[in-house]
Structure formats: C-alpha cells, structure tokens
Structure 1
Amino acid sequence: MLELKRDGQSLTILPETGAALGQWRVEGHDMLRPVANPALRNQKGVAVGAYPLLPYVNRIAEGHFAFGGEEYRLAPNMEGCPHPIHGNGWEHEWQVAHRTDSHAILTFDHTPSDEAGRGEWPYAYRAVMSYELRADGLHVSIVIRNSDKVDQPVGLGFHPFFHSEAGSRLKFRTDSVWLTDDHGLPVEKKACEGEWDFSGGRALEGRTLDNGFTGFEGQAVLEQPGGLPNLTVEADRIFSHLVVFSQPDEGYVAIEPVTSMTDAINRPEIAGRGLHVLAPGQSSGGMIRFHAEASRRPAEG
C-alpha cells in the first residue's frame, strides 16, 4: 500500500489490487466509501474506494465480440453474471514506476495468454495510471497504449464509490440514458427528461440506479448535506459517457466517467457509442479531477 499526502489530504493506493484506491481523506473527511464486492473474485475481498476500468468499460454481452475479422469470447469475471465486466486491469497487480510525497505513477502490461479457459483480453496493451494530490484535490490520469501488432478497440473509465446519505443529491448534464435489463445491458435509450433529468440535481435517497448516460458534459456535483464536503467530478472530453451506480441501501453511489456506452463493441449501429480504435503504438487517455469543498484554495492573484 502506498500513501500520498499534501495540503491536508491523504491518499492510499493498492498496487496489488488493480491499482485501486483505498481512501482519499480531505481535512479529516473520508471522501470515498470503500466497497468489498465478493462477486469480483480477483479483488480478493479487499474493500476498494475506486479503481480503473480498462481496456473496456462495464459489460460485454456474453463475453463475445468480433473485431478485425476475428471472433473472441472472454471468460466471465464476476460471479452470477454471464457478461465480463470492467476490463481486466482491475484483476492484476500493477507496478510502481514513480513516486513522490504527493504523486504516484503505476503501470500494467497485459500480454494475451494461450492458457486454456483463461479468456482474458485478446490484445496486448500497456496501461498507465497517475494519481496526484494537488492543492485543489485529486487528479487521476488514465492512459492506454496499444502494444499489439494489430488495431485494438478500447474503452477507459474510473469507478469511484462515494457516500450516499439521507439528503445526498447528484447533479450533472447529459443528453440521454440507457435503461438496462436485469444483467445491466442497455435495452432502451431515453431522453434525459423528467425523472432522468439530473441537470438541476436529484435526490439519491431511495433510488437504485445502474445506468449509462450519454452526452456527458464533463462535470458532476454530489451535494452532501450531512457534514461531508460537497464533491465535484470534472472529466476531460474523451469521457463523454457517465455511469451512475447508486445503491442507497448500501450507503454508496459510484459516479463513473467513461469513454463509451456499455457493450459498445457489439453496438456498431449506435452513433456516439464511444468505441476508440488504436493502431499499433497509438495511445489514448484523459484526466479526471475530484474537488472537495474542504480542499479548495483561494485562487492566486
């Protein structure tokens, strides 16, 4: 476990657990709400506060897809669900490439395996995660490089868990939302109107969500009236989709900026699905910034 510190903040990083975060503390406040999910076997029961999603985000239906004239089938990686989820970066140990008191860079190199039944991602890639505490909060950078000899479809995202309390409200702007089936796959696209319009903020209490939103404008605000600092999530333009996974009975909400819709690789007919294709040697990535009220500093000058 690594620990970073700066300006009343501390951050714990878990390289052995998929480059996940343990906790981000801001002036004594636990900003993340770590979750141990026994269905994610490769997290080995560790409670994590956030983790990277790559080289795809959310689910791939039945683990099956075709690309570049080849067909592939991935093995399920979450118990009780036939659809592999969140890529495979979270399933492996990462290496610490650089560290200072307030900044750490971690890397993971994936090489496809011919081992029978393994069923992981069929392309080689290198992923780089940068975690940095700055005066205005936590800055997270995610980059993936195609290390293979052929084109590779990719998706990126970040999966932080935050406290969801009585009175918590979430605010963001998006164009549309995907309604999902019992296994979290998109089945119907609706405009963000009525109950799906979060532009003015909506209460999370009593509302269970596991939905992908499209046309994300890059900012989400979690209002916390119970004593925790309000939180602002700001994402680069590449993160044009947002997944909200709200479990009020469990006391958390995941606010996940991502580059694509769920099962994007199998939805070529959908405009704006967000699938990115990297040629050999090409890279893609972006930054997500987390600002807590208690961590803000007056602007200089």
Structure 2
Amino acid sequence: MAGAPQIGGAPAVVLQARDLPEAGPAFTEATVLPGRGMMLLQARLRLPSGEVVDALHAPPLDEAARELAGGADDFAGNRAFAFGGALLIPYANRIRGRDVQGEREIEALIDGRPARLPRNWGGKAPGAAQYAMHGLILDAAVPFEAQESRVRGRLAAGDFGGRWPGKADLDFEYRLEGGALVLRIDVRNVGAEPLPLGVGWHPYFQLPSGDRRQARLRVAADLRTEVNDYDEVLPTGRLLPTEGTPYDFGAREGLALGDLYLDDCFTALRREAGEVVVELRDPAASVGVRIRTSTPQVKAVQVYAPPGQPFVVVEPQFNLAEPYADIWPAGVDTGMAQLQPGENLSYEVRLEAFAVGT
C-alpha cells in the first residue's frame, strides 16, 4: 500500500491471490477502496490463454482517484457506482419521496418512519423525477486492516448520519481464494428499534473481447419489474413474466445480448441448490464469470447493459426499486429485510471464472 493514492482519505488496497490453480481462468488480484465505502475498484482476471486482463470496467487507479475526489457530480458519493463495484447499503436501487425545497434531499417513509435521503440521481430528460439512489455509504471512509489476499473493514454506521431509521454496525471482507473473489458483509442492528435493510453490490463486468452482442447472460428469473422508461427507470408496480420474451435468460448457457437494452430488475429468482447463480459468458474470449450467492434475502438481480458498451453490470440485491411505494400489489415482497435489535444478517457473493467454448 506504500505510495498508493489516497481516495476518500484512505489508501487503495491491492490484494494478491496466493493459492491460484496452475492453469485456467482465475481471479488473480483485487483493488479495494476503503475510503469509498469499501467499493471494489478493479479485479484482474486470468484468461484460459494465460493472459491477465481487467475484469471490471473502471479507470486506472490514478484516474479513479481524480474522479472520486468529490465535486458537483459526486454528490452523496454517486461517482462510486459509475464504474468498479460499489456496495449499496442500507438500500439498493431507487427510492422516491417529496423534494425538500432548497435542499438536495427527499423526505420518504421507510418502513412507516420518516427519513431524509440525499437526492443524488434521477432522469436526464426535462422534468424527470429525481430520487435517492444506491444507499448511504458510497463516500464513507471505513477503517480497515489488510493482509496479502484479504482485507477487512468495520464501519460503525449508526443511523447513517441521521438519515435512516435504525442503527447498524457493518463488517466487510474481500478475499481471494482458489481463483475466486469473495465479498462478505455482516450487518448488526445496534439500535433499540427494528432496522430496515437492503444490501446490494454493483460490479461492472468488463467483456474481455469487447464484443457485447455475442456475450451471453444467464439469469434464472420468472419475473422482471416493468419500468416507465429507461431514463427515470422507475417501476410501475407490474411484475411481468419473462418466459417466452426477450428477457428470458434462464437457459443453461444463457441468451446472447445482441442489441437489447437492459436496465431491468429480475425477481422470482430460481435457485440452484439454494443459490442464486448468474453467469456472463464471453465466447469470443473463451471465458465466463459466475456470480453466486446463497444469501436468502437476495430477492432481485438488477442488470444494466447498454448496447455499444463493453460491460454488463450485475447487481445481486435484497430489494426491488421503490420498495416502500404504494405501487405494489398486496402481497408482493419488495425485498427489504428487517433486523430486530441485536440481530445479525450476512450477505455473501462469490465470483468465479470459467472457460467456455467459442
């Protein structure tokens, strides 16, 4: 870490794998930014050919330090989810509320309790809705300790600067093991009231070939949330079946992305031996990435994949967008967990690389 750029007041941490398989695809290195909410900036991936490439869409470390230095376009830390892999806590996705006049805030009801959240994102069209996006730790500085292939951090988040009903302690861990990259987050309710909680991760997976059209996505999900448009990307409250549609990515080897625009939330996930499994295959580069989680609270996978870009964002998360809105029919589980005082919850995602045929 000596000489590493300071980002958010803390140095970047570069992890090196110690127990790699002798050959084949594997994650060899990871760069974590404790000063920006423990986001993953980059991971290095060994291809079947032996070449090592960047696994995530992200700028080099020095450039990332400049982009994450703050400023008008980084309000509430939202540059952290423009590349790399931000951690989304205590909610993922979008929350709308009443604009607070003269402030970049909204007032929203969270589990029936009032909260004032940063209004840090929204549609780009004139008059488009503005809202809170992707949690409250995007620019948090997390105390940490690092070893060669592992880094741990702990954040006494409390009530997230007075913005959230409930109080939390957060423990983070990234580790490289056996060619895989593992993220684990442990949350404990340290308050006297129930803690509403959503957790997610926002990694931009780079396609080594750069050929997005032939890349294949596998997400075994029965439903996706309908959105009003792809500018605001706000749910209408309707859950649409995926079977037989262009959004049916459940086949064993997935479905080619072609020119389909995606900024869609998939739910009613079909688990395999208790796990949610998402795969992104790049046949032109003979490699794929498998995203696995056995965390029972993961109810949704958001996928962002704009045509013409060499990346696909896969976000395993607890909650749908607008989880407390009155748009949802009775009985729909929008995914937010609730921790009772003293209760713990863990979120773990494992990234694996594998060879694929051309």
| CA-to-aligned-CA distance 1:45-78 (integer Å, 9 cap, x gap) | 5664111111011011224433565323323123
State the match for 1:219 in structure 2.
277
1:20 aligns with 2:39: yes
Q: Which of the residues 346, 352, 356 maps onto 1:285? A: 346
The question of 1:202 aligning with 2:263 is answered no
Of stretches 247-256 and 35-44 in structure 1, the one that deviates more from structure 2 is 35-44
Distance 1:156 1:69 in 2: 19
Q: In structure 1, what is the equivalent of residue 136 of structure 2?
A: 88
Q: SS at 1:89's partner residue?
A: coil
Specify the code of the residue in structure 2 equivalent to 1:191: P
Q: Which residue of 2 aligns with 1:298?
A: none
Report what 1:190 is aligned to: 240
What's the CA shift for 1:30?
Answer: 1.2
Partners in 1 of 2:226 and 2:111 — Cα distance? 29
* Cα RMSD after superposing both structures: 2.5
From the CA coordinates, give the structure whose radius of gyration is larger: 2
User: Could you tell me which residue of structure 1 aligns to residue 308 of structure 2?
Assistant: 249
User: How far is the alpha carbon of 1:135 from its aligned partner?
Assistant: 0.5
Unaligned stretches of 5+ residues in structure 2: 1-11, 21-26, 47-51, 60-66, 98-105, 124-128
Q: 1:41 aligns with which of 72, 75, 79?
A: 75
Q: 1:247 to 1:107 in 2, by over 3 A?
A: farther
Aligned residue number for residue 2 of structure 1: 13
Distance 1:181 1:221, change over 3 A: same
User: What corresponds to 1:271 in structure 2?
Assistant: 332
- CA distances 1:191-244 after superposition (whole Å, capped 9, x unpaired): 112212101222223222111111223001111023262111111132121111
Deviations 1:149-170 (A, max 9, x none): 2112111111110124331110
Q: CA deviation at 1:79?
A: 6.2
User: 1:140-179 maps to which residues of 2 (within 5 A)?
Assistant: 140-164=183-207, 165-166=211-212, 167-179=214-226
SS of residue matched to 2:91: coil
2:56 is matched by which residue type in structure 1? L
How far is 1:252 from its partner? 1.8
Deviation at 1:287, TM superposition (A): 1.0
Paired residues, what number? 289
Q: Which aligned runs of 4 or more in structure 1 are off by greater than 6 angstroms?
A: 35-38
Identity %: 25
Q: Quote the Cα distance in structure 2 between the aligned partners of 1:109 and 1:257.
A: 24
CA distance in 1, matches of 2:175, 2:318: 21
| TM superposition score normalised by structure 1 | 0.87
| Matches of 1:204 and 1:95, distance apart in 2 | 40
Partner amino acid for 2:353? A
Deviation at 1:124, TM superposition (A): 2.3
> Are the counterparts in 2 of residues 57 and 85 from structure 1 also a CA contact under 8 Å?
yes
Letter in 1 for 2:16: K
Where do 5+ consecutive residues of structure 1 fail to align?
295-301
Matches within 5 A, 1:56-135: 56-62=91-97, 63-67=106-110, 70-78=113-121, 82-96=130-144, 98-112=145-159, 120-135=163-178
Q: CA deviation at 1:40?
A: 4.3
Distance in 2 (CA, whole Å) between partners of 1:113 and 1:133 is 29
How far apart are the structure 2 equivalents of 1:68 and 1:235?
A: 26
* Secondary structure, counterpart of 1:16 in structure 2: helix
SS of 2:192 mapped into structure 1: coil
Aligned to 1:299: none
- Kept in 2, the 8 Å contact 1:94–1:106? The answer is yes
TM-score (norm 2): 0.74
State the match for 1:297 in structure 2: none
